[in-house]
Chains A and B, each alone.
Chain A
Amino acid sequence: MSEKRVRIRSAEKMKEMMTLYYMTAKMAEQEKSPKIAWITSGGPVEILHAAGVIPIYPENHAAMCGTVRMADRLCGVAEDRGYSRDLCSYARSDIGSILSGESPIGGSPKPDFLVCCNNICGTVTKWYQALQRMFNVPLIFIDAPYQYEADRPEALAYMKAQLEEMIQTVGEITGKPIKPDTLTETLLRSEEAVQLWRDIQDLLRHRPAPMNSFDTFIHLAPIVTLRGTPECIDYYKELKAEMEERVRDGVAAVPGEQFRLGWDNLAIWYKVKFLADKFAEHHAALVVSTYTENFCYQAPDRREDDLLWTMAANYLGGYINHGLDYRERELTEMAENFHLDGFVMHSNRSCRAYSFGQYELAQSLERKRGIPTLMIEADQSDTRAWSDEQVATRIDAFMESLAARRVAV
């Protein structure tokens, strides 16, 4: 490799910001104030920020366990207690961490209550029930009906009613009702941050892409945890400026970018570097992913006068709460907007909600758009589902076939 990949400066700031966030949460655990809520990655976190509650994400903690390759052992702890090996590795490793006390960050600060929204999968429903039993704290459950096509009005009304109820309940738990103005400000800040994150990802349409999907996986942390806060906006402004600078100066995330690929499904946390290096070896940049796009979902018809309705639409309408026709359209649009040569699909043992239908999607991408797909069988954090050699061969073969197509054209 002649040119080296350039580091993203803003990453340092993100590290500081995320450390500060965890430290604050740890302090809150000790001081018993402010309150801490554990929440699913697709949960309506703005309500927590507006109430001054610190959100903690078991999924983020589990991803960290995966990144430092501690997940296998922690999954084993949960499996020994009877949790099936077929259960999501995030759930298993996080439960294993709680049971054993082992964690890469000294454990997540204990929750005062739990917020679970099933817009990302059905597993979280049972997972949070298990957490409720372990910690004996209140559980707020938001039920997001699955959307097969356009969002249904009755589902939106149902969602909105549940959000109203959550606002009420969180106020009761903290003892301080959430002020409507504070909630509005928080929601507007969330929208601004999401728009910035959208803009940053759209900058990857540029050739060469200033950033790789392997970078966006990492830079996803603030938009998940801190959307609705001013720090989140500041951070993405800085990252956006850095990426605009790269576009202006022609800095490529993958030096000598020749191929542009999309990514479907969660990151494979323990192999981010392996995959980034492997694709870079073939001068292939991953420039868009359904995974990071999922966390910048904004309902197309925003209601200025009804932010809660808009919020309901946002939390109902994410990629994995939708059926295959919707997914196919999304993938096709991504392929066109980001000038893709192919799609890489991570068939994720842990995440059935995400992985079902991937073969169907792959076939229709190929048939209707001539976009080839590579399927990688793995798991988001359980390394026992991974094999270096098998994945390397699949990637090499896929890239050889893309190169051969190009020669033939």
Chain B
Amino acid sequence: MSGVLLFAGVDVGSATTKAVLVDVEGRVVAHTVIPSGGKLAAAATVVLERVLGEARVTMENVAALVSTGYGRESVSGRTKAVTEITCHARGAHTLNPAVRSVIDIGGQDSKAIALDERGGVRRFEMNDKCAAGTGRFLEVMARTLQVGLDEIGPLALSAESPARISSTCTVFAESEVISLLAQDESIPSILAGLCTAIAQRVNSLAARVGMMPEVMMTGGVAKNVGVVRGLEQAVGLPLITPEEPQIVGALGAALIARDLGARRQDATA
């Protein structure tokens, strides 16, 4: 693959770090997701090595690199750092140009974005300081209930009716879950209740921004069918979930890198 020109997007999130390589046409050549761990800079280096290895290329082939996410400033070799808001909007718009709204639920934050017809950001809202309405909330609950993260969605859908979880605070909700367990509430019902709680919490961000169809859901939590269904009910619109919801931010970053690379070539030409 020597001589091929590629563009990289690296999304350093609080829970996972993602990398995407695109070619000059903007097609995805390779993508990788790894856990972020404690050292964001190290995670960025590892994810980049892996994605380059997967595409069997080296940094020599990368004409521009855009970093994004919580750790965007700790990515060495970046051409530019761009916020995840702009990157998610760009990624979602590229995957489906009809998308006008994005709901992203990541490990530590959730956001709602309204897009214009070019994929630009019109408005956005992010969660406040607490972890309610984020992937972290589900991780804590999965641990308490001793179920795998992947099992939450299918189990929640199997519930006859969701248990009522009144608090969206992670700490309070955890103690509510423990009392529900003590009352012999079924695990699927509790999980369904948790999915509803997170959906309602995130819907308040979505409502402030104003959701217009098509709505795409991105971020790791989009893999959880329980939350997706809960959000569809809360928002009142169907949600499009991409095949790889976790890499949408990194994809947007790679596409912005491609714009930057193209601009640079224009300048040198």
Check if B82 sits within 8 Å of A390, measured CB to CB: no
Check if B208 sits within 8 Å of A397, measured CB to CB: no
Question: Which of A372, A389, A400, A405 lies in contact with B70, CB distance below 8 A?
Answer: A389
Check if A387 sits within 8 Å of B129, measured CB to CB: yes
Smallest CB gap from A402: residue in B:
B121
Complex interface bits, B124-139 against A, C-beta within 8 A gives 1, otherwise 0? 1110110000000000
In the bound assembly, the distance between CA atoms of A405 and B118 in angstroms comes to: 10
In the bound assembly, the distance between CA atoms of A372 and B122 in angstroms comes to: 8
Q: Which residues of B, 71-102, contact A by the 8 Å Cβ criterion? A: 82-86
Interface of A is mostly: helix
Check if A397 sits within 8 Å of B85, measured CB to CB: yes
Asked whether A150 is an interface residue with its Cβ less than 8 Å from the other chain, the reply is no
Smallest CB gap from A366: residue in B:
B123
Check if A400 sits within 8 Å of B86, measured CB to CB: yes
Asked whether A2 is an interface residue with its Cβ less than 8 Å from the other chain, the reply is no
Query: Which residues of chain B come closer than 8 Å to A390, judged between CB atoms?
Result: 109, 126, 129
Complex interface bits, A384-409 against B, C-beta within 8 A gives 1, otherwise 0? 01010110011011101100110010
Query: Which residues of chain A come closer than 8 Å to B26, judged between CB atoms?
Result: none
Check if B121 sits within 8 Å of A397, measured CB to CB: yes
Q: Which residues of A, 167-186, contact B by the 8 Å Cβ criterion? A: none
Check if A408 sits within 8 Å of B118, measured CB to CB: yes
Check if B121 sits within 8 Å of A400, measured CB to CB: yes
Check if B128 sits within 8 Å of A397, measured CB to CB: no
What is the minimal beta-carbon distance from B78 to any residue of chain A, in angstroms?
Answer: 14
Question: Which of B83, B118, B128 lies in contact with A396, CB distance below 8 A?
Answer: B83
Asked whether B238 is an interface residue with its Cβ less than 8 Å from the other chain, the reply is no
| Most chain A CB neighbours (cut-off 10 Å) among B82, B83, B84, B109 | B83
Given A372-B123, A390-B126, A394-B126, verify A400-B82 contact (CB < 8 Å). yes
Asked whether A359 is an interface residue with its Cβ less than 8 Å from the other chain, the reply is yes
Check if B83 sits within 8 Å of A375, measured CB to CB: no
Query: Which residues of chain B come closer than 8 Å to A396, judged between CB atoms?
Result: 83
Asked whether A330 is an interface residue with its Cβ less than 8 Å from the other chain, the reply is no
Query: Which residues of chain B come closer than 8 Å to A400, judged between CB atoms?
Result: 82-83, 85-86, 121
Query: Which residues of chain A come closer than 8 Å to B109, judged between CB atoms?
Result: 390
Question: Which of B70, B120, B126 lies in contact with A404, CB distance below 8 A?
Answer: B120
Query: Which residues of chain B come closer than 8 Å to A401, judged between CB atoms?
Result: 85-86, 120-122, 124
Query: Which residues of chain B come closer than 8 Å to A336, judged between CB atoms?
Result: none
Asked whether A377 is an interface residue with its Cβ less than 8 Å from the other chain, the reply is yes
Question: Which of B84, B120, B128 lies in contact with A408, CB distance below 8 A?
Answer: B120
Check if B121 sits within 8 Å of A404, measured CB to CB: yes
In the bound assembly, the distance between CA atoms of A49 and B125 in angstroms comes to: 46
What is the minimal beta-carbon distance from A404 to any residue of chain B, in angstroms?
Answer: 5
Check if B120 sits within 8 Å of A393, measured CB to CB: no
Query: Which residues of chain B come closer than 8 Å to A408, judged between CB atoms?
Result: 116, 118, 120
Question: Which of A366, A375, A387, A405 lies in contact with B125, CB distance below 8 A?
Answer: A375
Query: Which residues of chain A come closer than 8 Å to B86, judged between CB atoms?
Result: 397, 400-401, 404
Other A-B contacts than A401-B120, A404-B121, A408-B118, 11 sampled, CB-CB below 8 A, are A372-B123, A375-B125, A389-B70, A390-B109, A393-B70, A397-B83, A397-B85, A397-B124, A400-B121, A401-B85, A404-B86
What are 26 A-B residue pairs whose CB atoms fall within 8 Å in the complex?
Answer: A359-B208, A366-B123, A377-B128, A377-B129, A387-B129, A389-B70, A390-B126, A390-B129, A393-B70, A397-B84, A397-B86, A397-B121, A397-B124, A398-B124, A400-B82, A400-B85, A400-B86, A400-B121, A401-B86, A401-B120, A401-B121, A401-B122, A401-B124, A404-B121, A405-B120, A408-B116
Those 9 A-B pairs whose CB atoms lie nearest each other, nearest first? A397-B85, A397-B83, A401-B121, A400-B86, A396-B83, A404-B120, A387-B129, A393-B83, A377-B128
